[in-house]
A = this chain, B = another copy of it.
Amino acid sequence: MTRGRRRGAPDTRAEVLRSARVLFAEHGYTATSVRSIAARAGVDSALVHHYFGTKADLFMAVLAVPVDPRRLLEPVVVAGAQSAGAGIVRTLLGVWDDPELRAPFLAVFRSVLEPGGDVLLRDGFLVAVIRPVLVDLKVDHVDLRLALVASTVLGLLTARYLLAIEPLASMPDVEVVETYAPVLQRFLTDPGVVAGSGQQ
């Protein structure tokens, strides 16, 4: 904030985070380079990588989610596409039903639904976090399936947590998995879903 700040590490880290937050929100994840973030923060790209790792790692730091969804989704990838529907729902519930994690995740979720926050979800979280999972699962028509999975998960999060619609809000995890896994599985792997979608 102050102009005459020291170039010490904490200030530099904060400045890089601020620059990344602004550029990701303005231009999205894809169109924002680590170089442009570094330039705006007045530091070298190498320093950005040193502090934060990859561009995706930096994006996760900007989102400030309390756990890294990429790490949580690793077992889903290992288990393979044919069980990914249930795996994704189970992973999601594991985070959102944890009383320590729900509030911070809900805050992030609210912020990306607000005008201006949408790009962080659409060309941010989905591209940096969820798309690589679908690529690693080797599903076809990645972008279409990504959009359908996103819509299902967004609906579940909105209905169960944001709006707390009963009886879904109080439904035991195992029943939520039974209910939503078939929807996600169809959207992830059913050839019929893309039948009409031509060149997607």
A-side residues, CB < 8 A to B, are 110, 113, 115, 118, 121-122, 126, 143-144, 146-148, 150-156, 158-160, 162-169, 171, 174-175, 178-179, 182-183, 186, 193, 195-197, 200
Contact = CB atoms under 8 A, between A and B. Distances in A.
**Interface SS majority for chain A:** helix
A126 B171 CA distance: 18
B151 A155 contact: yes
A183 B200 CA distance: 21
Contacts of A196: 174-175, 178
A153 B150 contact: no
Number of copies: 2
Given A113-B113, A122-B163, 15 more contacts: A110-B115, A113-B158, A118-B163, A118-B164, A147-B165, A147-B167, A148-B179, A151-B159, A152-B183, A154-B155, A155-B156, A174-B196, A175-B196, A182-B186, A183-B186
14 contacts: A113-B113, A113-B158, A122-B164, A147-B166, A147-B169, A150-B163, A151-B156, A151-B160, A151-B168, A152-B152, A154-B163, A167-B200, A174-B196, A178-B196
Given A122-B163, A122-B165, A151 B147 contact: no
Nearest to A113: B113
A118 B162 CA distance: 8
Contacts of A150: 155, 159, 163, 165
Given A151-B156, A155-B154, A196-B178, A165 B126 contact: yes
A174 B198 CA distance: 13
A197 B168 CA distance: 10
Nearest to A199: B167
Given A162-B113, A178-B196, A168 B147 contact: yes
A143 to B, nearest CB: 6
Nearest to A196: B175
